[in-house]
């Protein structure tokens, strides 16, 4: 299905229609006027699990999707910034913390999902945790008290499981 914004060619303004692209073996939106092929790609989300004294900082979302559920600081990567820069920015915006020593935990993508989520572990180096505009509250959770039944996204659950299962050995919080 083409949305209003993707119904017209970004090159010539002609109408897009789904057509079989033989070289790719799939249908894609193709301009009837100039032949431009529109590639609909997922957006990249940068997320961070801030670690301090063996606990992780999570925020309760104030906005949809998953309003009222817990997740780690995360958001879309902006044009012109690296994934790591986006992770630092989102952490500052959402929970007012300064972080460093980002260590890649994993990358999460799912069939049919419009996002690819890149998750890092990090060390907190400044700031006092507080809820930003998109969070109702923030809290530190030890591993044994994570709110599993109230997590926002599949990627949230899987990233926390990965951290617990042993990928956390790649990053050790000096405070532990």
Give per-residue pLDDT as tens, 92-121.
Answer: 999 999 999 999 999 999 999 999 999 999
pLDDT band at 11 (very low <50, low <70, confident <90, very high): very high
What's the pLDDT at 54?
87
Structural domain spans, the chain: 1-40, 43-170
Give per-residue pLDDT as tens, 152-169.
Answer: 999 999 999 999 987 445
Token pair of 75, please? 């958001």
What's the pLDDT at 83?
98
pLDDT band at 173 (very low <50, low <70, confident <90, very high): low
Report which secondary-structure segment, H or E, holds 89.
Answer: helix 83-95
Domain at 1-40, CATH class: mainly beta
Mean of the pLDDT values across residues 44-53?
96
pLDDT band at 31 (very low <50, low <70, confident <90, very high): very high
> Domain 43-170: which topology?
Nucleoside Triphosphate Pyrophosphohydrolase (3.90.79)
Residues in contact with 162: Cβ distance below 8 Å, sequence separation at least 6, in sequence order = 105, 106
Phi-psi region of 34 (alpha: psi -120 to 50; beta: other; left: phi over 0): alpha
What's the pLDDT at 84?
98
- In sequence order, the β-bridge partners of residue 98 are 126
What's the pLDDT at 168?
46
pTM of the full structure:
0.84
Mean of the pLDDT values across residues 51-57?
92
Give per-residue pLDDT as tens, 139-148.
Answer: 999 999 999 9
């Amino acid at each position: 299905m083409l949305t209003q914004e993707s119904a017209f060619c970004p090159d010539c303004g002609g109408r897009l229609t789904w057509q079989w692209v033989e070289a790719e073996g799939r249908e894609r939106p193709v301009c009837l006027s100039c032949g431009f092929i529109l590639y609909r790609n997922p957006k990249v989300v940068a997320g961070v699990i801030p670690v301090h004294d063996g606990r992780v900082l999570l925020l309760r979302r104030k906005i949809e999707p998953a309003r009222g559920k817990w997740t780690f600081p995360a958001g879309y990567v902006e044009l012109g910034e690296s994934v790591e820069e986006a992770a630092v920015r989102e952490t500052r915006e959402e929970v007012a913390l300064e972080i460093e020593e980002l260590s890649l935990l994993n990358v999460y993508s799912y069939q049919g999902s419009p996002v690819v989520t890149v998750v890092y572990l990090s060390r907190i180096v400044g700031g006092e945790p507080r809820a930003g505009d998109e969070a109702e509250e923030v809290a530190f959770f030890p591993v044994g008290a994570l709110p599993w039944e109230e997590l926002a996204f599949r990627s949230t659950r899987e990233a926390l499981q990965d951290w617990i299962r042993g990928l956390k050995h790649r990053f050790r919080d000096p405070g532990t």
